[in-house]
Each structure stands twice: as structure tokens, then as C-alpha cells.
Structure 1
């Protein structure tokens, strides 16, 4: 939610501050605060990942595996099962499918976080 407000706030800064330099200073401060929040979230993630309890440290992998299972079912298992049943002479026209649109939102978020961590590793950031 917070990043979505930044374009709105920067537009407001242009109207509030008659001096463009003051507006730019306010925009820079807003960006600094946004980055600070992102770094704090990374710190929270690192502490969470080191936790001894699987329920704290393992929730991200668990969500990833659920997404992978739904992905495999929708695009691999379900079509193959229909082909096998057809070959066995017991055709089904449809098998239940899982709602992949909502899962994609979660999966893309997890992959985005993974992408950021990969970027950190490439740049040599150790946490």
C-alpha cells in the first residue's frame, strides 16, 4: 500500500511547495523513508528466517510449495490424468481445477522477494 501512495504524495508536494527545490527535498525525504522501511523489512525477514520454529521460519517455503503444487496440478497432473483416463476408456470431460489467479499473486510476490535476494547476493550484501 505504501509504495502506491508515493506518486500521489509527490504530486501533492508539487502543489504544497511553491519552490521546486523545497518540493524536491520533500520528495527525496519520502524516498529515503521508503528505502529505510524496505531495509527494515529485510532485517525482519532475516531474523524470521533464522528462527528455530518451523512455523516462523518455514512459512515462506510452505507457501511456495503450496503454490508449486497448485501449479503442477493445474498444468501437469490434471491434463495428464485426463489423457490417461481417456486412454483407459473412462473419459472425463473435466476435473476440478484450482483457482490459479489468486495463487499467481502470492507466487509472484514470493518470486519478487527471491529476485531481490538474488540481486543482493550478486551485489555482495550479506545478511
Structure 2
């Protein structure tokens, strides 16, 4: 989040800080402002992490089930795009079944979503291997 905010807020911070005549006070003010902004971004990120943990532990499928739902949607989309649809088209072409149009899926967005989900799963596996996952963290009872 900081990487997104810094380029946008950097010029604003510089304009405000440039109004301070003393060079040392200007440098201190800029450092303090950036420190406070980074603390705010970190606090927001930690709050979102807590919300995500609460959502994932919820017993209702409508709250905790959206992540698995996205996984199933991606799986079904890939199944259709790479296995079912090509086989049905092959059968239609070779056996003249009369299917005139069989839709295909635009897989560009699907690839991005699947790769993001696989990346997060890979990071989770890496955490478990390194022993820093939630289950093995110090203070976990």
C-alpha cells in the first residue's frame, strides 16, 4: 500500500514541507510526516488482516465461503476452457452432432485470478515450511 501512496503523496508532502524555512526542521518534518503516514497505512493493513481472519473463521458459507467459491469458479472455468469445450467441439466436428455454436470463455481474466490464487497458496506453503505460519507462531496456544 505504501508503494502506491508514496508516489501520489510525495509531491504533496514536499510542497508542504518546502514552506518550512529551516532546513533541519524541514527534514525533520518530512521524516515525521512520512513516519505517521506509514504508521497509518500499517494500521489499516493490520485491521484488514484481522477482518480477513474473522471472515475465514465464520461458520456461514456466505461469509467464509467466498474464497473457496472463487477457487471453484476458476476450476470450472479452466475445466470448460481446456477440457470440456475442446472435446465437445472435436466430437461435433468429427461426428456431425449438429451443435452449431459452443461458447468459449475469455480466459485472460481467469488466468490472472488463478495465478494470484496460486501465488497466495504458494506463499502460505512457504510460511508453513519456514515455520512462521499462524499455527506455529510463538504465542499460539
Report the TM-score range of the alignment, normalised by the length of the smaller protein.
0.7 to 0.9
Higher relative contact order (CA 8 A, sep 6+): 1
Root-mean-square deviation over aligned CA pairs: 3.1
So what's the TM-score if we normalise by structure 2? Answer: 0.67
Give 5+ residue unaligned stretches, structure 2. 19-25, 136-141
Which SS does the other structure have where 2:28 is aligned? helix
**What's the CA shift string for 1:4-55, capped at 9, x where partnerless?**
4442012211221122332233223222221221121111111111111111
**Match of 2:103?**
96
Q: In terms of Rg, which structure is larger?
A: 2
Bigger helix share: 1
Aligned to 1:24, the other structure's residue is in SS state: helix
Q: Is the 8 A contact 2:14 2:30 kept in 1?
A: yes
- Figure out how many residues of one structure are paired with residues of the other and give that number: 127
* Partner SS state of residue 46, structure 1: helix
Q: 5+ residue gaps in structure 1?
A: none
1:33 is matched with which residue? 40
Q: Alignment partner of 1:22: what SS?
A: helix
Please give the TM-score of this superposition, normalised by the length of structure 1: 0.73
How far apart in 1 are the matches of 2:101 and 2:78? 17
